[in-house]
Structure 1
Amino acid sequence: MDRWVRDVLAWRAGDAVLHVAPNQWVFESADHRFVPMAVPSEDAGLAALGRPSWVHVHAMTTPVMEAARRLSEALGCPLGITLHDVCFAEPGPDADTRADLVLRARWVLAPSDYLAGVARDWIARVCSGQDAPMVQVLPNGWRPWPETPAVPATGQGEFAIGMVGALGLHKGLAFAREMAACLPPRMRVVLIGYADGQLTPGWLIPDRLWVHGAFETGALPSLLRAYGVQVVWFAPGQPESFCYALSDVWQAGWPAVVPDAGALGERMQRVGFGCVYDPYLSPQRVAALLQDWLLHPRCLPHAEQPVEREVTVAEMVRQLEMVYGSDSVNESFPPDDAALQHLAQTHLDSRFFRHELLRLQGELEAAQAQTARLRVELDDVARAYEARGRWIEKLQSDIDALNVSIAVLQERNGSGRWWGAIRRWVDQMFGR
């Protein structure tokens, strides 16, 4: 979702973003200034945001849906929805709120035929008999990468099979571990990205599955070359709604082997730079399939630029603007900067600065109390050392007096054995 939004903002200079959390909003202006604010308790407080032409919803979570509804009603602007994953179709306590938001929307967009089909089925089920909007397909676009310096591999040796992106449990992590363990010892896998429980470079399976770690997208071609990757494999998991990682692999010029499910299978069937496999195959069967690919590759890295057969960001934005222009809207006007700054100041003073001041005050009081306790302890130690010093001085004075007495007696009576014994006894008594 964030990548989609950033791609569109790069082309549409006047758009703004409202980042929504349960207890706080952050307004990102068209010039990318961030203004935090409390969630307005009254709709009158929304006027500081101006009036956009559209409220474009990108997440079907309760705080976002509530914010979208309030903005649409209070500011008099229509709303539309882009679905980025299948979470909207899952049961939950906010299912009625999701259905209500869809009925309020003028349009609903999905990045793939697969997700559009899921959305149509869901809307038909939850909005039965009501006038719901049509679901349109607007594929996510790709754009050329900025020039990126080559990045070295973090693992040693060659890895014929690559994986790209974040690998979690819902993305087939357990299957990937089993599949890698079924490969011949010298046929290793590198994950250019990170896995659940393995964010830094290292072995996920010793000498079988290496994790490279996070990377800049533009460095992907140099990393695939550095590791000696011949094909990129996508594990079976929750069906993808689009999958930017496949776009990146194709843009780098590498073939891919993907499960025939969701948008991955749909896109591979259309573009064809790689192949699909049955997502219900066992790890052993998939390992055998990848071995066969490496022995008899259907296509080679850099043989094509398959991503060029897909929609670019520029084309995506043009289609989006056609959607924006497909319905009449009220006149828009920009945010009120002074009112926004006042909201931010009030929010920070009441929620953060005051709390921070109270926290610091508490820490200062605790430090002062600790200092006072330490001062008392130091005073006790100083008094003890002073008393010890006086006792040592007294003992030394007593020893000196005894020595004088002994010397006088020795002069009177000579240095006999009896007086020598007395002297040794005195030395032993006083540790001399």
Structure 2
Amino acid sequence: MASPARVDVIVPAYRGLALTLACLESLLGASCRLPHRIVVVNDRSPQPELTAALRKLAGTGRLELLENDRNLGFPATANRGLALSPGRDRVLVNSDVLVFDGWLDRLAAAAHAAPDIGTATPFANNATICSYPRPNTDNPLPADIAPAALDALCAAENAGQTVELPTAVGFCMYIRGDCLDDVGLFDAEAFGLGYGEENDFCQRATHLGWRHVLAGDVFVVHAGGASFGEGKKPALARNLAVLAARHPGYLPRVREFIRRDPVAALRRNIDVARLARLGPPPLVVRLCHAKDGGTARRLDDEARELVAAGFTPATLAPAARENPDHRVRLTVDQPEVAAELVYALPDELPRLVDDLRRLGTAGCIFHHFLDLPPEALGLPQLLGVPHEARVHDFGWFCPSINCLNDTGLACGEPDRAACQRCADVGGSDMPHLTVEALYAQSGRILDTAVRVVAPSRDAAARLRHCFPAARVEAVPHPEPALAPPPPPAILPWDGRRPVRLAVIGAIGEHKGYGVLLAMARDANRRGLPLSFQVAGFTKDDFPLFATGKAFVSGRYQENEAVAVIRELDCHLALFLSVWPETYCYTLTEAWRAGLYAVGFDLGAVGERIADTGWGWRLPPTRHGAAVNDRLLALLRQPPPPGTLLP
């Protein structure tokens, strides 16, 4: 479409001398081909120095100045400037915005890209749904690139690209003259001093068939809230209520826009270009789920190891736990550019591969494929790079991940037909895969991996049994050295002194919640001198509290674990996982807190207790009374450390 003949740039001014003058200098200094005039409307500023500075600038003839006789508020002040030249395009610019060369030309091109576009909004660091680098965030300006250079990068990477918005954002809002003539001015009476008037305008425009777009090739700086100060929050809340009453579908449309985040691709273009400018060390892409726990902790530790080895860690994970769009998020661990690049697979798989090549990917590490789209699993082959694999659980061959059967205990890993029956009856965390398909998918990854690392001998043996062609190594997770915990001071037990047992972590069924509850109920029923102190949280705290034999501390930060355990002042730590854990970080935390461990002789827990001798092992069972009896026998007559109790 044809560009406008001339544009008015309207700047309402009220307070903020330095910001307003910086804004005007940027508007006056920016080189643009499109003819335009700058109109400042002084809303009876309470700062005499600002009024004097505006009059001085107007005296040079570089801008036109209008002055209100009284303070009218932002909408009415904006209207005064917008009403100057009917039919002409206008840009409403807040007085705390900085613009750069070519900004107006690109913004006008976006607004005139189609006949039904009424408004165009640029990217800014503080621009709600148009914010960069993070949406709906007041972002600090990036440290790796100057704002003018960032605008030039947007112009190069997103040239001519727009995304339809549910509304323009008023900090820098290009309004086509025919749209303004059709819709009318802001509703100054309803929106008072300001906030929300541009959203109301845009909804009225939408009802008349106009659209609103983000100009992805323009970036401006926006300080935000300079005129309102402390009055922003109440004004915003009041005017949002007006908006919701007038346009009932508006806020739901905005929420759905935020959920879909169609701007992500344009932000991604800029992020990748910024990363490429930095020339970071080669990437190692770790593929994983998006859940918390020991896997996430290992990813953090591994990231530090990769940086020390001269690589840039990156993590590819599902973009959301509920992920119907099959999106993945690539998070690049680069301090200067905190990039989170989102791709919808399979459609954007070629773009993901291109970006990873552009950033210099050296290899991939598979940590977990739960919830990842299957297309992501072929990345090493598409990139032509080697890959390794890490074992955190048994999702490689078990559809329920933890090798538990319908008895609630470790299944013993029967043949594949029995596994399928178990998955069909007991549920599967990967319902889209049969057991045979799971083995085939895992085999393609594990059998071609340069290295498969399991953190315990037990886990390595289980993987080798299922995938004999895989090069599996048993390598414990690297952790700082720790001193042996002292032998429990309560031993030998006199049979009367109350015994406090620490249970550490997030205790769900697979971590032995059912066993713990049965033990607490049995201790209550028989009047046993045992109490159970949970350092963390459980799947359901109330039944435990109801026994009178349990206490639950609540969630804690990882670095608080040892302090929380010590504060509970326990005599032993209890590990009741009914699945064969692959490592168990909480066992290390118990030892660091100075506690011997008593745990089921399953997986890494039994293996590590036997190797160190820092505790005792129990036969796995779900019968709480049997576990209590074994504990009482241990307390009365402790066998050598590391022993498996009868």
| Corresponding position: 1:140 with 2:477 | yes
Q: Give the aligned partner of residue 268 of structure 1.
A: 609
Contact 2:397/2:466 (8 A) holds in 1: yes
Query: 1:144-293 to 2 correspondence within 5 Å?
Result: 160-183=500-523, 184-198=527-541, 203-280=544-621, 282-293=623-634
Q: Give the aligned partner of residue 108 of structure 1.
A: 452
Q: Give the aligned partner of residue 61 of structure 1.
A: 370
The structure with higher relative contact order (CA 8 Å, sep 6+) is 1
Deviations 1:379-416 (A, max 9, x none): xxxxxxxxxxxxxxxxxxxxxxxxxxxxxxxxxxxxxx
Q: Return the alpha-carbon distance in structure 1 between the equivalents of residues 557 and 635 of structure 2.
A: 27
Contact 2:599/2:606 (8 A) holds in 1: yes
How far does residue 187 in structure 1 lie from its aligned partner after superposition?
Answer: 2.3
Match of 1:26 among 326, 329, 332: 329
Deviations 1:185-237 (A, max 9, x none): 54211111111123xx9953331122111123343343333322000111141
Letter of the 1:188 partner, please give it. Answer: S
Question: Cα gap change, 1:73/1:220 in structure 2, threshold over 3 Å: closer, same or farther?
Answer: closer
Q: Give the aligned partner of residue 353 of structure 1.
A: none
Query: Secondary structure of 1:53's match?
Result: strand
Q: Give the aligned partner of residue 67 of structure 2.
A: none
Q: Over the residues paired in the alignment, what is the CA RMSD in angstroms?
A: 2.7
Question: Cα gap change, 1:90/1:225 in structure 2, threshold over 3 Å: closer, same or farther?
Answer: closer
Contact 2:505/2:535 (8 A) holds in 1: yes
Which structure has greater helix proportion? 1
Letter of the 1:28 partner, please give it. Answer: T
| Corresponding position: 1:47 with 2:341 | no
Match of 1:9 among 294, 303, 306: 303
- The TM-score with structure 2 as length reference comes to 0.40
What stretches of structure 2 of length at least 5 have no aligned partner?
1-294, 400-432, 483-497, 642-646
Q: Return the alpha-carbon distance in structure 1 between the equivalents of residues 630 and 349 of structure 2.
A: 59
Question: Cα gap change, 1:252/1:66 in structure 2, threshold over 3 Å: closer, same or farther?
Answer: farther
How far does residue 8 in structure 1 lie from its aligned partner after superposition?
Answer: 1.5
How far does residue 276 in structure 1 lie from its aligned partner after superposition?
Answer: 0.5
Deviations 1:293-343 (A, max 9, x none): 44456799xxxxxxxxxxxxxxxxxxxxxxxxxxxxxxxxxxxxxxxxxxx
Q: Return the alpha-carbon distance in structure 2 between the equivalents of residues 3 and 20 of structure 1.
A: 15
Query: Secondary structure of 1:54's match?
Result: strand
Q: Return the alpha-carbon distance in structure 2 between the equivalents of residues 299 and 217 of structure 1.
A: 32
Q: Return the alpha-carbon distance in structure 2 between the equivalents of residues 186 and 231 of structure 1.
A: 14
Query: Secondary structure of 2:447's match?
Result: helix
Q: Give the aligned partner of residue 108 of structure 2.
A: none
Match of 1:35 among 340, 343, 346: 340
Q: Give the aligned partner of residue 83 of structure 1.
A: 391
Question: Cα gap change, 1:42/1:281 in structure 2, threshold over 3 Å: closer, same or farther?
Answer: closer
Q: Give the aligned partner of residue 195 of structure 2.
A: none
How far does residue 140 in structure 1 lie from its aligned partner after superposition?
Answer: 1.0
Contact 1:173/1:195 (8 A) holds in 2: yes
Percentage of identical aligned residues: 22
What stretches of structure 1 of length at least 5 have no aligned partner?
125-131, 146-157, 301-432
Contact 1:256/1:275 (8 A) holds in 2: yes
Contact 2:459/2:603 (8 A) holds in 1: yes
Q: Return the alpha-carbon distance in structure 2 between the equivalents of residues 297 and 19 of structure 1.
A: 48
Contact 2:392/2:454 (8 A) holds in 1: yes
Query: 1:313-352 to 2 correspondence within 5 Å?
Result: none
Letter of the 1:55 partner, please give it. Answer: C
Contact 1:230/1:294 (8 A) holds in 2: no
Contact 2:464/2:470 (8 A) holds in 1: no
Letter of the 1:9 partner, please give it. Answer: A
Q: Return the alpha-carbon distance in structure 2 between the equivalents of residues 166 and 283 of structure 1.
A: 19
Letter of the 2:396 partner, please give it. Answer: F
Query: Secondary structure of 2:625's match?
Result: helix
Which structure has greater strand proportion? 2
Q: Return the alpha-carbon distance in structure 1 between the equivalents of residues 559 and 317 of structure 2.
A: 30
Query: Secondary structure of 1:19's match?
Result: strand
Q: Return the alpha-carbon distance in structure 2 between the equivalents of residues 209 and 299 of structure 1.
A: 28
Contact 1:68/1:79 (8 A) holds in 2: no
Contact 2:517/2:543 (8 A) holds in 1: no
- The TM-score with structure 1 as length reference comes to 0.59
